[in-house]
Structure 1
Amino acid sequence: MASEPWLHISLLLLFCFSLVFSLPTGRNSICGYKSCPATKPSMLNVHLVPHTHDDVGWLKTVDQYFYGDRNNIQHAGVQYILDSVIDQLQKDPARRFIYVETAFFYRWWRQQNQNTRRIVTQLVNEGRLEFINGGWCMSDEATTHYSAVIDQMTLGLRFLNDTFGECGRPRVAWHIDPFGHAREHASIFAQMGYDGFFFGRLDYQDKDRRMKTKEMEMLWRASESLTPPIADLFTGVLPNGYNPPEGFCWDQSCDDAPIRDDPDLEDYNVDEIVQKFLNASHKQADYYKTNHIIMTMGSDFQYENANLWYKNMDKLIKYVNALQAKGSKLNVLYSTPSCYLQELNLANFTWPMKTDDFFPYADDAHDFWTGYFTSRPALKLYERLSNSRLQTCNQLEVLGGPTSTSGPFGEGDSDTMRRAMGVAQHHDAVSGTEKQHVANDYARRLATGWAHCEVLVSNSLAVLSGSEAPRVFCENLNISVCPLTESSHKFSMNVYNPLGRTVRWPVRLPVNGSVYNVTDANGKAVDSEVIPLSKSRKEVRQNRGFAKSELVFQVEAPPLGYSTYIISMVQDQPPVSRSKNAVPSSIQNKFLKVTFDSTTGLLSSLTNLETQQTIRLTQNFFWYNASAGNNKESHQPSGAYIFRPNSSDPFIISKTAEIQAVSLYNSVQEVTQRFSPWVSQVVRLYEDRRELELEWTVGPVPVEDGLGKEVITRLDTDIQSSGYFYTDSNGREVLERRKDYRPTWDLKQTEPIAGNYYPINSRAYIKDDKRQLTVVTDRSQGASSIYNGSLEIMLHRRLLYDDFRGVGEPLSEPGEFAHGLVARGRLLLTLSPPEAAADLHRPLAQSMVLQPLLSFQDGAPSPGTKLEFSGLQAALPPAVHLLTVSQWDQDSVLVRLEHQYQAKESKTHSQPVTVNLQKLFSTLQVLGASEMSLGANQWKEDMIRLHWNTEKDALPPTARDPSSWEVTLKPMEIRTFLLRVRLL
């Protein structure tokens, strides 16, 4: 997209040279669909897929899994798996193997000599070693945010592309282990150019129906907004999860009999094995439409001794296929998921359509995997904050130029955080389903990544501001700890905004003075208040800080830029308390009014003063008694994965809220409620904000009574929701939910609470014809609407039993002081007419995901310091989100622009919007632009996907961009560009 044709051609050639020409694709590459083995049209073709499933951390850390350390926990060593498989593949050109987790392969590849690399490259070029999925990990689908998923996929796909070229590009998405499947994930895979998607887990009732109706394979229409077939993805359910058929596991970890084919020796069993395989194959074929079936020959960390597997599979293929001479119609072959997919496509069938998702997942009547939506709430928050920090780190690496990674504060990088975040997306990481020592390792990796990014951010801000004064980052502001602000009489605060629009944000700094002057970058005074520190904050921080108060004020930062605030202490005497303990009748600003019940101290109503809409609103905290697995219906206990309360009625923590403080200031009004020694909350209204903030603190959850507890907060209203509620899918499109109902099959509900829980990543809401109550969260959590007009969110879990899904320990986090984890978080509530709700909760959710980054310098800024900066020439239109700004190579930047509204969601913003790439950045001259797939491993013009016949035809493409530099975004569309740039 250059202004002159010659410039476009030269840039395209340069890009192609840098990304493709130098890659070791091989002169005789026959990878991809061209490398697929021949099948027999008149027979039932059984595609054997040798594979290993290698968790990027679970029972052991990612390092321990790679090296094969701590085998007393689990025998697993990924380096030996890859060594053994590569050796065995060389022995027979018919043999195949697929590999999935790039985080492990990347480590292994770096340790290999040139000869091994040459052998592996040849195997890849011949299609005998094929990469499937290709992300840094196999991500969780319930608790991940779409931006982090796209990043970790891009990280893995780029490594494969840079290392193997086109032959390293996966054609198939492969999520064989995640515990339920999100529609947004399918949409992401489709937009990344995948031809198909296979997974192993779905609800047992859904699977039973699909087997009977031969609907185990379908077309998933994964967006209500994107024009088909953009988000259409062929999807198949694997017949045995991801394990081999019963009796055919030949790994060193298995006990199944090998094929004994010497008739002169005892226990000759070829006939028995062959007949057993024939039976298994024909039984499986009864559930699928075509004359092709797939068998996953492998499982967790298998193939450490690949000879065992291949020697027996060689014999199986030989002896089964030998029966064809006697009239058998079964043909067995080594294959891959992409080769199987190609045969399904060639069958030219019409496939059933699916438009909803695969949540919640249950593998038996009382075994709903809905607990992990909330498990390890502190890790879930830390991962979400780390995502925000990574985006800031990426942006400042671009805006600050080369000095960002090597500047006055030393060597910094974004790669360490990028890899740590990639690992954290794994389906046993942010999901909270790992052992405690592994969860600690994930957190440690994120902390190390942030330490590297801090140096980069400091270098970049030094370049942009002109100040090389030391910069401090306060990691514990949520518990009112920041040594610099607590002790300094004068300091400056840099507020960096990673969003493409100006943001106003409330800031709370721990201080010890009673009066402060706050001025902005233009020297204008900013209204501020000093509020005595609440008792609950002091209890949580314990001895980690000494602030007596918090300085509260609103900041504003320009798009993709920063603003500087100067804070000076005026008085250092203890502040005069303006708090009281009596139950207030109400608090309000010009947008919202909140009332309290004078008897209970609980919320009683919420009013939107702009629309004059009011709802009755009662909010309280409850806990479900976690099943210990000792009742007559089932022995299934609650655990890290499973949510199973032993009753549908939760225990109320307290029928009343003790009002500890009512603080009424100009900039903020807040009411501190205490429900028990381990549950408290601040109800807060900031000036000029349209949302009500509920800052909750839960923990340590007491278990001395021998009862595990699943803690929820419940909002009860008079909204006539009629059993419907709405949840987001990975932070993007919203799906309608209905109590005790599944769109795909007739549900037999066996767990009235757990069976109605769904994941939320950023928001959920209930509504009627006139009113909508939306709750925006600061992390992924589980939520439901059990009663009409009610919305409940699970905040914390502490359990006493393992749930028998492999992790082998109860979910009972010790916390920092070993008394149990204290979790703190925020819920933001908005009330509006349904037709106007998206205009409130969409930007609010984005500002929770990408929060401003605060950094501090002691003293006043030195003369000549640039106190304000924006990396954009102008704020982006409200509908446009700048999803990615990341350095690609020395002269190129990867940019993703996203339309953040759904079709028909907003009267104002659900329209196409156009952005000019040349007029985007203030510090970069854009010399050329080429569009890529969402995963940034293909040019968009080369992204040709398989076509599928469906019950509903795809629509013809519509007109696109108005000019070579102007790109148009339609609702829910993400467009990815590689920009050739020069720093101004």
Structure 2
Amino acid sequence: MIGKIHKQMSHDSWLFSKMATPEYTPFVFLLLLFQSGVWGVPVCQTPQESPTCGYKSCHATKPGMLNVHLVPHTHDDVGWLKTVDQYFYGDRNDIQHAGVQYILDSVVDQLLKNPDRRFIYVETAFFYRWWKQQTDDMQNTVKQLVNEGRLEFVNGGWCMSDEATTHYSAVIDQMTMGLRFLNDTFGHCGRPRVAWHIDPFGHAREHASMFAQMGYDGFFFGRLDYQDRNRRMVAREQEMLWRASESLTPPMADLFTGILPNGYNPPEGFCWDQSCDDPPIRDDPDLEDYNVDDVVTRFLHIAHGQALVYKTNHIIMTMGSDFQYENANLWYKNLDKLIRYVNQMQSNGSEVNVLYSTPSCYLQELHRVNLTWPLKGDDFFPYADSAHDFWTGYFTSRPALKRYERISNSYLQTCKQLEVLGGPISRKGPFGAGDSETLKKAMAVAQHHDAVSGTEKQHVANDYARKLANGWAHCQVLVSNTLSSLSGSSAPRVYCEHLNISVCPLTETSKKFSVNVYNPLARPVSWPVRLPVNGTAYSISDAKGKAVDSQVVPVSQATAAVRRGRGYAVNELLFQVQAPPLGYSTYSVSLLQNGPPSPPSPLPRAPTAVQNKFLRVTFDRETGLLSSLSNLETQQTVKLSQNFYWYNASDGNNSESIQMSGAYIFRPNTSTPFIISKTAKIETLQNSVVQEVRQWFSPWVSQVVRLYTDSRALELEWTVGPVPIGDDLGKEVISRLDSSINSSGVFYTDSNGREVLQRRKDYRPTWNLRQSEPIAGNYYPINSRAYIKDDKDQLTVVTDRSQGGGSIQDGSLEIMLHRRLLYDDVRGVGEPLNETSDIYPEGLVVRGRHLLSLSPPAMAADTHRPLAQEVVLQPLITFTDGELHPSTRLEFSGLQAVLPPAVHLLTVSQWDQDTVLLRLEHQYQASESKEHSQPVTVNLQKLFSTLDMLGVSEMNLSANQWKDEMTRLDWKAESGEKPLPKRGGDPSVWEVSLKPMEIRTFLLRVRQR
């Protein structure tokens, strides 16, 4: 560790120059460090490795035999049919019999009875709760089991996250939280070596890239398209090397990936949980129902059959399923017998050897055979489990929850940043005790594959939202404390969480108030603000006292209708704000007593065009619909129309298949969607701040087409609902853009908000697709953006949440906005996706935004990358009533300087008392941008304006290993290529170089200035 401490403490140059002389022995070196008070960054330091955990704890296998690795496990959903709390305590067993606390109690008891037994555990959210309730003696017992490798953690995140609808920043956060707890509690032996996503419904390439950068040696999952699996079984390609990035240098994002043979269930006939119906092993030969010979024969048959579709003489069997092992004695008693009786057959010539194992032990044996493996470069979307059963509906399911999760992520990043910038006063300040932990845990739970995915029961979705709201409340205290400290103002701070529907009691009633705009990005932003007001004219001044152009417009009929009594403002105050990087700017707003009697009324007709200096948008005067979009900077124009449609959902009464549409499954009953209206009723507003065309398509669908004065993107703000179901058919509502772009059946989507993948209609890169669902089978997850292009034009759509979409016709891009379904799709959730609420008892209303940009393909990333980041990490707006004190600090930036355009400040988070977790990200892909797809260097010492850098050490992506101590198993691809050499070093300790798509993670030892 001396070298690491040296690296961390390099700021003490006088000390280190002295230590370079021969008389300073290592003991004196450490003593001086201790006396100087810079002993080292107190985090996650790797303890001495136990001689028996990890790969060293694996049972011996037998060469020349078929080794069957039995993996006892439980799959514990962090909410699904029951809430997280109900699952943990075993409450509401009328819904589902499941109690996680009893599973862990029972498994520990049974592991102690036989040292050969193994068990893996995955979901740290549950284990953390259980651990806190244990006695010291029990905790020591569990530590011993972990140190001996008998209890092994795999995956180790707070949850097993969804892969289609999660944003990479939230995934990294929840993995970091879970892995840190395991590291702090169990040290090296608690660190998972295998990623384990046995239940998510399709698999994203970006997840594999993240897992590789987190130091995992391999990745196992259970679900993939039935056609893909069939082909892979025949070709014996169920295990592969996944090259999960086109930009990162191999093997940085290479991950060995295995497909489990039975999903995550036991082989048929070998389930011995209390929830199972399979007969136990009856091994008393004096009894009439003795069945050992039958069990052994059936098991050998299954094992040999499985070996035919895998590549080595090692196969894996998952022994467990959903919430199993509540009575672990049932499982282990029968597994002990199975191992004994199958292995006894070796004396009769059997070549099958059965053993207790773990995924990492199985992985180690695959590595030892030293084979080459097929290479995969795309992802595993969409997923279908049979010809008419595409799991592409959940890309959009519960769109309101998906948006709430996304803005909660933005708020959490702001909360964590202000906790660092504010120091200790942020947690205990003038407004009480605040914390970021509550929202961190709520957000971590929300990443679960039955949470943000929208595939849970309604009462569980409500509970996820409740947890997020509780996290917001805790963070609001922290944010108020920090902003009070930084600004020097103790005025109470007001949060308005319904600005998207023009509700904010303070701005509606106050004659004088201030608006604080905090920007979590590392570059300045310009952001449009819309505040509900009842006055008709206001004066606004910025932080320098300069007057700001503003306009007052009437609240639209659609907004007034959707508020349902939660606000009564008749107008909206519009102005543009500028906020510095990682900082805030404050605007003062005053009602003008002698303003005009009312704002100008909208004109009841479609304009010929609206335009600013960047874009021109034309409309068809007859229909009121978009007709073209032009980029005035590049002199490009494309024909462009946009409208709303719906697909009728299948009710199961179909000659081809009885599959119904539901929370998981998208299955329209026709390939032609129904148009909601061929024309739109129009109102037009044009002023110096914004031009907007308000469109009404039906009583339940409306939209505002908006162009702000300084924007390079056209905003489409859609409002959909309540979706009518009077015809007893569920509906899947889409927005479709039809353009003159010659897209040739190809479109592009992002993977978890990062790298972009090409999608081709009716095509899969790794097998010859037999397309059976022409719409649902061409839908993909869109996490933050999608685009179509030809040689000349690229049309990009940036979304404000995860949604499903596709390009069904050339030049067309459709995105699903809302789903309301009347039948369950028989995938376990047990209820239709028919969302209502107290406010909307006749059906949920959802509002969102799409941002459109038009650019030449070579320049498009320079627009849509920063635009997508602005939507993901949007400014936080807070308010104070009355006039500000003259001494109030109206502007602040936490950075000394703006970061280069290619660099995104991904994470700034308090780690320990004097340490900060920092992630810097190169946000461009290789060859994506002429200007920005180049390596870039950042000086860490010149980063923050309020912090002095005392030391730095680099971590892996999940911050649970030192980067220079992270070693991974190396794998050979069938392409024959050799991994390229590792990256070169940085210019200095403080100069950090980033290559395209690279994320680097650091622990900083800091001191508040």
Same fold (TM over 0.5): yes
- Tell whether 2:85 aligns with 1:63: yes
Cα offset for 1:860? 1.5
Contact 1:513 1:573 in 2 (8 A): no
> 1:958: Cα distance to partner?
3.4
Confirm or deny that 1:498 pairs with 2:520.
yes
- Cα displacement string for residues 198-226 of structure 1 (whole angstroms, at most 9, x for unaligned residues): 00000000000000000000000000000
Equivalent in the alignment of 1:875: 898
Could you give the per-residue CA deviations for residues 25-51 of structure 1, whole angstroms, max 9, x where no partner exists?
Answer: 78x541111111100011000000000
Alignment of structure 1 residues 349-364 onto 2, 5 Å? 349-364=371-386
Contact 1:882 1:897 in 2 (8 A): yes
Is 1:38 equivalent to 2:63 in the alignment? no
Matches within 5 A, 1:834-853: 834-853=857-876
1:733 partnered with 2:755: yes
Q: What are the equivalent positions in structure 2 for 1:407-486 lying under 5 Å apart?
A: 407-486=429-508
Tell me, yes or no, if structure 1 residue 911 matches structure 2 residue 934: yes
How far, CA to CA, are the matches of 1:860 and 1:873 in structure 2? Answer: 30
- 1:646 corresponds in structure 2 to 669
How many residues are treated as equivalent by the alignment? 980
Note if 1:591 corresponds to 2:614. yes
What is the match of residue 978 of structure 1? 1003
Code of the aligned partner of 1:682? V
Counterparts of 1:404 and 1:574, CA distance in 2: 44
Q: Could you list the per-position Cα deviations for residues 484-513 of structure 1 after superposition, in whole angstroms to 9, with x for gaps in the alignment?
A: 000000000110000000000000000011
**How many angstroms does 1:801 deviate by?**
0.2
Report what 1:113 is aligned to. Answer: 135
* Aligned ranges 1:548-567 → 2 under 5 Å: 548-567=570-589
Counterpart residue number, 1:125: 147
Q: Equivalences for 1:729-878 in 2 at 5 Å?
A: 729-815=751-837, 816-878=839-901
- 2:986 pairs with one of 961, 965, 970: 961
Alpha-carbon displacement from aligned partner over 1:74-110 (angstroms, at most 9, x marks no partner): 0000000000000000000000000000000000000
- State the alpha-carbon separation in 2 of the partners of residues 817 and 565 from structure 1: 35
Task: Please give the per-residue CA displacement for 1:531-567, whole angstroms capped at 9, x wherever unaligned.
Answer: 1110000000121111110000100100000000000
Contact preservation (8 Å) 1:512, 1:574: no
Aligned-partner SS, 2:703 = strand
Give, in angstroms, the shift of residue 960 of structure 1: 2.7
Describe the superposition over 1:637-675 as per-residue Cα deviations: whole angstroms up to 9, x where unpaired. 00000000000000000010111x200101100000000
The within-5 A match list for 1:615-630 is 615-630=638-653
Corresponding residue number in structure 2 for 1:664: 686
TM-superposed CA distance for 1:574, in Å, is: 4.5
| 2:217 is the counterpart of 1:192 | no
Kept after mapping to 2: 8 A contact 1:187/1:233: yes
Alignment check: 8 A CA contact 2:926 2:997 kept: yes
**Contact 1:56 1:62 (C-alpha < 8 Å) held by counterparts:** yes
Could you give the per-residue CA deviations for residues 706-751 of structure 1, whole angstroms, max 9, x where no partner exists?
A: 1100000000001000000000000000000000000000000000
AA at the equivalent of 2:556: S
Cα shift readout 1:328-386 (whole Å, capped 9, x = no counterpart): 10000000000000000000000000000000000000000000000000000000000
Task: Please list the CA deviations of residues 609-646 of structure 1 after superposition, one character each: whole Å capped at 9, or x if unmatched.
Answer: 11111000010000000000111000000000000000
Cα distance in 1 between the residues matched to 2:899 and 2:203: 33
**Unmatched 5+ stretches in structure 2:** 1-6, 17-28
Contact 1:412 1:455 (C-alpha < 8 Å) held by counterparts: yes
CA separation of 1:261 and 1:554: change in aligned 2, threshold 3 A:
same
Alignment of 1:924 onto 2:947 = yes
2:229 is the counterpart of 1:207: yes
Q: Secondary structure at the match of 1:229?
A: coil
Judge conservation of contact 1:510–1:550 (CA < 8 Å) in 2: yes
1:715 maps to which residue?
737
* C-alpha displacement of 1:587: 0.7
Given candidates 518, 529, 546, the residue that maps to 2:551 is 529
* 3-state SS of 2:896 partner: coil
Ranges in structure 1 where 5+ consecutive residues have no aligned partner: none
Residue of structure 2 aligned with 1:154, choices 176, 199, 223: 176
1-structure distance, mates of 2:105, 2:711: 58
Cα deviation digits, residues 104-127 of structure 1 (max 9, x gap): 000000000011001000000000
Paired with 2:629 and 2:601, the residues of 1 have a C-alpha distance of 24
| Matching residue of 1:681 | 703
2:924 is aligned with 1:901 = yes
1:551 partner SS: strand
Matched-pair contact (CA < 8 Å) for 1:3–1:965: no
Residue identity opposite 1:974 in structure 2: I
Matches within 5 A, 1:161-310: 161-310=183-332
Distance, in Å, in 1 between the alignment partners of 2:525 and 2:684 is: 28
Counterparts of 1:16 and 1:650 in 2: how far apart (Å)? 59
CA drift of 1:579 comes to 1.7
Higher mean displacement: 947-956 or 775-784 = 947-956
CA distance in 2, matches of 1:567, 1:583: 33
CA distance in 2, matches of 1:691, 1:16: 44
Residue 390 of structure 2 is aligned to residue 365 of structure 1: no
Partners of 2:207 and 2:634 lie apart in 1 by 37
AA partner of residue 145 (structure 1): H
CA distance in 1 between counterparts of 2:512 and 2:849 reads 30
Q: Which amino acid aligns with 2:408?
A: S
Structure 1 stretches of 4+ with a deviation exceeding 3 A read 3-18, 571-574
User: TM-score scaled to structure 1, two decimals?
Assistant: 0.99
Q: CA deviation at 1:15?
A: 4.2
Aligned residue in 1 for 2:566: 544
The whole-number CA distance in structure 2 between the counterparts of 1:799 and 1:760 is 21
- Secondary structure at the aligned position of 2:44 is classed as helix
Measured in 1, the distance between the counterparts of 2:982 and 2:51 equals 33
- Is the contact made by 1:778 and 1:825 (CA closer than 8 Å) also made in structure 2? yes
What SS does the corresponding residue of 1:215 show, helix, strand or coil?
coil
Is the CA contact (8 Å cut-off) linking 1:578 and 1:664 kept in structure 2? no
Structure 1 vs Structure 2 CA RMSD:
1.2
Q: Secondary structure at the match of 1:373?
A: coil
- Residues 574 and 510 from structure 1, CA distance in 2 versus in 1: closer, same or farther, beyond 3 angstroms? farther
**Aligned residue number for residue 3 of structure 2:** none
Residue 917 (structure 1) shift: 0.5
Which residue matches 2:158? 136
Which amino acid in structure 1 is aligned with residue 410 of structure 2? Answer: S
SS for the counterpart of 2:212 is helix
CA contact (8 A) 2:43 2:912 kept: no
2:170 partner SS: helix
Q: State the distance in 1 between where 2:38 and 2:158 align.
A: 28
What is the CA deviation profile of residues 830-871 of structure 1, one whole-angstrom value per residue up to 9, with x for unaligned ones? 001000000000000000000000000001211211100000
Structure 1 distance, partners of 2:602, 2:274, is 68
Provide the rounded CA distance (Å) in 1 between the counterparts of 2:764 and 2:565.
Answer: 50
Identity of aligned residues (%): 75
Task: Give the Cα–Cα distance (whole angstroms) in 1 for the partners of residues 583 and 549 of structure 2.
Answer: 22
TM-superposed deviation, 1:14:
3.9
Secondary structure, in 3 states, of the residue corresponding to 2:494?
Answer: coil
> Which is worse superposed, 673-682 or 563-572?
563-572
What secondary structure does 1:499 align onto?
A: coil
